[in-house]
Amino acid sequence: MGEVMDEWWYDSNNSAKGPCGIEELSDLFNQKVITIDTRVWRKGMEEWLPLREVKELSSLISDMPQPTPTSSDVTTSTSSNPIARAWKRFFG
């Protein structure tokens, strides 16, 4: 019965695909068939969640270089300072 808990389903164009194991999910992730935003579900979960929010699948994400890390976010937020000044002038 432990196998049933390892059966995952994933959303593909609003259609549930599965069941598949964690190894298959890992392969799908590596092949970019699914992403960190793909909704997944398994028996015992209350609702479908994005892969990035499922603790049991966090190893899939940590093994891959993440395209949305903080380095680009920091660069973006630093470059967004002129926008903050534009707002300041707007209200000033």
CATH number, position 63 = 3.30.1490
Buried b (16+ CB within 10 A) or exposed e, 50-84: ebbebeebeebeeeeeeeeeeeeeeeeeeeeeeee
Per the structure, how many domains does the chain have? Answer: 1
Write out the residue range of the structural domain in which residue 19 sits: 2-91
pLDDT in tens, the chain (92 residues): 444 568 999 999 999 999 999 999 999 999 999 999 999 999 999 999 999 999 999 888 876 554 555 554 555 545 555 555 555 555 55
User: Quick one: pLDDT at residue 40?
Assistant: 97
Q: What is the pLDDT of residue 6?
A: 82
Looking at residue 2, what is its pLDDT?
A: 46
